[in-house]
A = this chain, B = another copy of it.
């Protein structure tokens, strides 16, 4: 008892230190998340120079745009007010016909059209002109099918395990499920990756500010360009967990993080 009594402070100290260590550990685990995704706490500046991505600017060598780019004189139309109104109305009517259809035509789309719409998306503005997007076009039926398999496998787990009964019930009305037939049907799949960072000449990472907003704006321009050609795009899925699986299918581990994945198809006779 005397021994116990004299050891009491030691026991208490050990127990308390253990509690401290356990609490600290939990804290550390959360910190990882936080570092990856804490809210925008950095100062906001001129739109061209910032980005919503979490970043630590002080640690980086931020570089401005290349100095050796040739000057392109600015040129623009100057329509009358009546012309402007007419054009804005026509464009609205055209874009208002866009639908997120689920039954796609397999009618071929000229490759030149795909190239042009991606070039158009590439005219999008981006934070500090980083152009943080990578567009991957898949035409090969085998690769399209492999991508479908990956997507469906993950989707099935979602529906059966991850989503919960209420969500699955809600989805019944919309008649969606994990079967993504259109990933085989669409003549092209397009995978849109966001470059969360780039590389400086000295080999250091350079954060791409607001990369997700920039890539999404470019996607909006892509959708507009597709609609102009009477083609469209169905976005079935986007999730970072898929990135690694897709890297392996595409045999390119250097690809950045997946933001959106969809099928490009043509509106037309065989649409339902």
Contacts and interface: CB of A to CB of B under 8 A. Distances in A.
A199 interface: no
A164 B58 contact: yes
A109 interface: yes
Interface stretch (A70-78, A136-144, A247-255): A70-78
Contacts of A109: 84
DSSP class of A's interface residues: helix, strand, loop or mixed?
helix
A158 B173 CA distance: 49
Nearest to A47: B235
Indicate the member of A20, A26, A164, A173 with the most B CB atoms within 10 Å.
A20
A34 B30 contact: yes
A246 interface: no
Contact of A76 (B46, B77, B174, B267): B267
A135 B125 CA distance: 19
Given A27-B23, A95-B120, A223 B125 contact: yes
Interface of A: 8-9, 12-13, 15-17, 19-20, 23-24, 26-27, 30-31, 33-34, 36-40, 42-49, 52, 57-58, 61-65, 74-79, 81, 84-85, 87-89, 91-92, 95-101, 109-110, 112-113, 116-117, 119-120, 123-125, 154-155, 157-159, 162-164, 166-167, 170-171, 173-174, 176, 212-214, 216-225, 228-231, 234-242, 259-260, 262, 266-269, 271
Nearest to A117: B88
A141 B259 CA distance: 39
Given A19-B16, A171-B46, A225 B268 contact: no
A247 B75 CA distance: 37
A231 B241 CA distance: 40
A52 B52 CA distance: 14
Which 10 residue pairs of A and B lie closest in terms of their CB atoms, listed nearest first? A220-B220, A16-B16, A216-B216, A43-B162, A76-B267, A44-B239, A88-B116, A9-B9, A224-B224, A47-B235
Interface centre among A38, A119, A224 (most CB of B within 10 A): A224
Contact of A217 (B42, B113, B220): B220
A57 B163 CA distance: 8
Given A37-B38, A88-B225, A236 B46 contact: yes
Nearest to A11: B9
A124 B81 CA distance: 26
Contact of A271 (B31, B74, B91): B74
A226 to B, nearest CB: 9
A235 B262 CA distance: 28
